Amino acid sequence: MKMEIEMRRILPFAIVGMFLIIVFGITTGTNYLLSSRASDMVTEDSLRFKKEYEALNDELNDDGTNRFTYMSIREDNKVVYLSYEDLLDFTGSGTGLLYFGRPACPWCRLLIPHMLEFAHENSATIYYYDIEADRDENNEKYINILSIFRGYLPTDTVTQNEDDPDFNPGLKRMVLPQLFFVNNGAITADTLMFRHEFLEVDDSESVKQLLSDMYNSAGCDECD
């Protein structure tokens, strides 16, 4: 009888203890899975993108003001770098958001926070080609890229003036940032971002709405 009474006294505490052990185990396991998933999303490309753009944060003008817009980029950003060969393959059969930019481009730095947020909200991958070196050198790669995207690019008014005697309206330039939505190698939507005033006033919702409209019109259910 005494043993039975003792068991009745102990039983509630034993049940509570087992419940706490189970809850702790589930919580620990869940946290581990979330941590694992988060770490899986951090890639060499995402870290490289963060490093390259944030590296300019501390550069100053002669008067001590910041030379570039300050950036804080999450480590698990959805950016994938393209080499020149990758870019050619992508324009032949790729699907996703193609971004031409460079770290020192002021308009690029205004766009990126909103573009990265859009990418995460829509599970979209951003395929990135830094065209600065090719454009500065006006090399064969750059000339070929211009030929591929010729129908979507503005006339070059940087290396030539409209009042020049030899002004060539057919000469194109990759003005940054330039975005393309590509579906199986076909360009389905594009925009030259610096032309949009809401980017300058940091209107995040308008930027993301523009990207969303492009995304939907491009039929980008598989743009990831």
pLDDT one digit per residue (tens) for the chain, 224 residues: 544 545 455 555 445 455 444 444 434 443 333 333 333 489 999 999 999 999 999 999 999 999 999 999 999 999 999 999 999 999 999 999 999 999 999 999 999 999 999 999 999 999 999 999 999 999 999 999 999 999 999 999 999 999 999 999 999 999 999 999 999 999 999 998 877 888 877 888 999 999 998 888 766 555 55
| Domain match, 36 and 71 both | no
Q: Please, are residues 171 and 154 in contact by the beta-carbon 8 Å criterion? A: no
| Domain match, 198 and 114 both | yes
Residue 130: partners with Cβ closer than 8 Å, 6 or more residues away: 81, 101, 102, 103
Q: Please, are residues 51 and 43 in contact by the beta-carbon 8 Å criterion? A: no
Number of domains in the chain: 2
User: What digits encode the pLDDT tens for the residues 19-57?
Assistant: 444 444 434 443 333 333 333 489 999 999 999 999 999
Q: Which of 122, 70, 65, 66 is nearest to 96 (CA)?
A: 122
| Domain match, 27 and 80 both | no
Q: Which domain covers residue 51, as residue numbers?
A: 43-217
Judge whether 207 lies within some domain.
Answer: yes
Q: Specify the CATH number for the domain of residue 211.
A: 3.40.30.10
| Dihedral (CA of 74, 80, 82, 83) sign | positive
| Domain match, 9 and 82 both | no
Judge whether 223 lies within some domain.
Answer: no
Q: What are phi and psi of 66, to 5 degrees?
A: -65, 135
